[in-house]
Structure 1
Amino acid sequence: MASPMTTPAIPAYYHRKKPVWPFERGYDPAFTELIRQAEIAIDNGIFPERIYQGSSGSYFVKNLQGKIIGVFKPKDEEPYGRLNPKWTKWMHKLCCPCCFGRSCLVPNQGYLSESGASLVDRKLGLKVVPKTKVVELVSTTFNYPRIARGTSQVKNAINNKFPKIGKHFNRLGLRPKVGSFQEFVEGFKDADYWLRRFDTEQLPVSVEKKFQSQFERLVILDYIIRNTDRGNDNWLIKYDPPVILNQPRSNADQEMLAPNEWEVVGKPDITIAAIDNGLAFPFKHPDAWRGYPYHWAWTPMAKVPFSQETKDLVLPRIEDLNFVDELIDDLRNLFKGDKGFDSHMFERQMGVMHGQILNLRKALHDNLTPIQLVQMTPIIIKRCSGWAGTTSNFRAFTENTFTENVQSDSPFFSWF
């Protein structure tokens, strides 16, 4: 293994001009550098480590120093992917085929949903989703079929003994896996942990205000993408309590300090991170057995009307038809990179999202609370049969172009 203090040459099969998904608009040098660090670490034997929680194959990705820098979720190791290393979902699929998956979601698109949620977050300026993009990575710690590992070993053995023959191989190593790569956030804990603490501990006024604002951004994200998997264990909170710099060493020191010297230097702060967005962007609202509610709807914060700050941030965007047009186009550019992309199914997904945006716009104008928002009748915006082209003509929105449909079917078990 090369010394960790040096930067070794990267094998040929690692080289890609664009390590991020080619259909995403814009070049992100910081994210590209993050992927480069991950590739160099893997080349030096610092391999991604499988996360044993959850129902899919996901991995902590590290840099050359062994520090976790991201979470990678391969497409083929998703809950119902063909190479998912977790046996629970395999048993579910085998023993309960009638209850297989979530009927409102496109199967095996979790990695696109993760990246799509990050895209929506960036476009709306919410800043609650750690940056997530679709990338390709290869590591021996990923779950590969035995035949693929055997073939790779044979090719490498031949190449070592007969380099002239080996140079004709298309690939010596394992095939790179496509999946979502999310930046790792440090210092965060499950929301459930902090919500229990906040039930008994009073937050400073400034922190409570920011927490409410961050919470509202989480609500807006989840509502627009219609997240079907938002429990209190898959959104995170980082809370930095106040720290007093001029803390007296003794009672005598305390008496000598003037009142203005008791300044809080380490100001309290709080931040929310919305992770695990792989079960969003449904092509219809839940209408089977489960309603997939938003668990944050039971918190006290959900009973407070949206703040003016949130309205000023979101309303100008979602009321701009050009913005919605561009958002849908960007999502299309992302989703069409998948080999199984279905244009008709994508239109249905966007129909649900567009309906959610219209409901959200009304809720913000009517000064509703988050819990009132999720109780609104779900609608779907459908294009008329005469529609031609892509979303480039969305800015020509008229009542003759789109139709608004109320989804009458509802899940058997539903809280809202």
Structure 2
Amino acid sequence: MEASDTHIFTPWTANIIDDDEEYAEIIKQAERAIEHGILPIRILAGSSGSYFVRNPDGKIIGVFKPKDEEPYGRFNPKWTKWFQKTLCPCCFGRGCLIPNQGYLSEAGASLIDQKLRLNIVPKTRSVRLAAESFNYPAYQRHLVSARREINYNVGRHMHGKRVFEPKGLRPKLGSFQLFVNNYIGADVFLKQIEQNPLPKEVMDKFQKQFEKLVVLDYIIRNTDRNMTNWLVKYEVHEAPERDKLLQTLSSPHLQPDTQADNNDLNPQESSTNTNEILIAAIDNGLAFPFKHPDEWRAYPFHWSWLPFAKIPFSDEIKSNVLPFLSDMNFVQHELCDEIQRLFAQDKNYNRRLVERQLSVMRGQILNLVQAMRDGKSPSQLVQMPGVLVEHIPADESSGRKLFRHKFYDRYPLFSWF
């Protein structure tokens, strides 16, 4: 068998991405890599089938999470969730989430992040990919292998004639999140700064990034934000060569003609070492509930116990997000309508359930706006009663949408979990 036959090629179902050239190019790189045998690598951690996707050079460029390999998906390759579903049905999943729609939640979190210009979620969309390293049922693999074998054997005796079209494995629908480099887990970072505190100006930058994470998680009502699924990058950039030259020119041992050159330099262009600290919010697949948690567990935000959560929201984050979130037209048309269009892509789309998801999200936004206006902290925000903002069907000829507020007064049995 020739080298080209060692991999199962797939005629791609086109991923049409015409509004983001950079993201579209990364997806094309992933497709080309798979075609040339550089297959995605399954991630060992976690309870679902998720994969590191590489480019033709073998570099990791993204994380792909197929819909049918989610924790309770049909082809989840990890047995732990099957064990839970089979033997512990009373603890099956999160009762406030729609099962097997984590890929939409991942893409939805990225959408909210972009709309509010938070820039903490690595860009994520729903795409289709196929690769031998994904978990397919055995019959599909056997069928493709049989077709390939027949074509090879027939082709040797009939001048390359094919009996079957070289169809490959069916592309899987899932979320594709861009990979971020030079980040560490928040749990590791917090331990490091506890032992070696950073300068105040750096911690001020971290606080602003932290507040963005709070805004995102609260709006999408993330039920799985722990200390391992948000990342931190801290880098110190040395002063540019021009600054080093200025330091050299300030030496008393300079020659006269060199000293004259110093007069031509603009001191405003000089800068000292700069510190960059950024947060990346990953693993957003367990968000957008259709009701507030009200059964066994509360699914709290683990960041709410950090000292940073006890500091009131800064004026900067308020000025950045309040103009958007205070505008009901923006909330409805730019956030809710876009989320609804995104979720409508799923074959199991249920408009009634999605509207309930949006009712929770509107209520979260209402609480967030009120907390910011009242000068509250993230810790105080998460203690506010849950609210639903429901859409009331009205006369379509009026062109107006009416809403009603309703406090959610049901609470889970173990609220301290």
Q: Does residue 1:311 correspond to 2:311, yes or no?
A: no
Measured in 2, the distance between the counterparts of 1:285 and 1:35 equals: 35
Q: Does residue 1:51 correspond to 2:46, yes or no?
A: no
Q: Does residue 1:91 correspond to 2:83, yes or no?
A: yes
Return the letter of the residue paired with 2:98.
V
Q: How does 1:290-369 map to 2 (within 5 A)?
A: 290-326=297-333, 327-369=335-377
Q: Does residue 1:405 correspond to 2:406, yes or no?
A: yes
Measured in 2, the distance between the counterparts of 1:413 and 1:264 equals: 53
1:47 to partner: Cα distance:
0.3
**Larger-gyration structure (1/2):** 2
Q: Does residue 1:139 correspond to 2:131, yes or no?
A: yes
Question: Which residues of structure 1 form unaligned runs of 5+?
Answer: 4-9, 21-25, 249-254
**Contact map agreement 2:10 2:168 (CA 8 A) in 1:** no
Q: How does 1:13-412 map to 2 (within 5 A)?
A: 13-14=11-12, 16=14, 18-20=15-17, 27-160=19-152, 161=154, 166=163, 169=165, 172-241=167-236, 243=238, 265-326=272-333, 327-384=335-392, 386-387=393-394, 396-397=400-401, 401-412=402-413
SS at match of 1:268: strand
SS at match of 2:228: coil
Corresponding residue of 1:6: none
SS at match of 1:403: strand
TM-score computed with the length of structure 2 as normaliser? 0.86
1:202 to partner: Cα distance:
2.1
**Contact map agreement 2:232 2:279 (CA 8 A) in 1:** yes
Corresponding residue of 1:251: none
Deviations 1:365-413 (A, max 9, x none): 11110001101010111223x4467xx95xx35xxx2211111110111
Corresponding residue of 2:261: none
**Contact map agreement 1:318 1:357 (CA 8 A) in 2:** yes
Return the letter of the residue paired with 1:38.
A
Deviations 1:253-283 (A, max 9, x none): xx999xx9xx984422110000000000000
Percent pairwise identity: 52
- Evaluate the alpha carbon distance shift between residue 2 and residue 15 of structure 1 in structure 2; reply closer, same or farther with a 3 A threshold: farther
SS at match of 2:11: helix
User: Which deviates the most, 265-274 or 312-321?
Assistant: 265-274
Return the letter of the residue paired with 1:314.
V
Work out the number of aligned pairs and report it.
385
Corresponding residue of 2:248: none
Question: Which residues of structure 2 form unaligned runs of 5+?
Answer: 245-250, 254-266
Measured in 2, the distance between the counterparts of 1:266 and 1:92 equals: 52
- Evaluate the alpha carbon distance shift between residue 188 and residue 304 of structure 1 in structure 2; reply closer, same or farther with a 3 A threshold: same
SS at match of 1:348: helix
**Contact map agreement 2:103 2:174 (CA 8 A) in 1:** yes
- Evaluate the alpha carbon distance shift between residue 122 and residue 388 of structure 1 in structure 2; reply closer, same or farther with a 3 A threshold: farther
TM-score computed with the length of structure 1 as normaliser? 0.87
Return the letter of the residue paired with 1:193.
V
SS at match of 2:175: strand
Deviations 1:302-342 (A, max 9, x none): 01111111011101101112211221111111111100000
Return the letter of the residue paired with 2:349.
F
SS at match of 1:13: coil
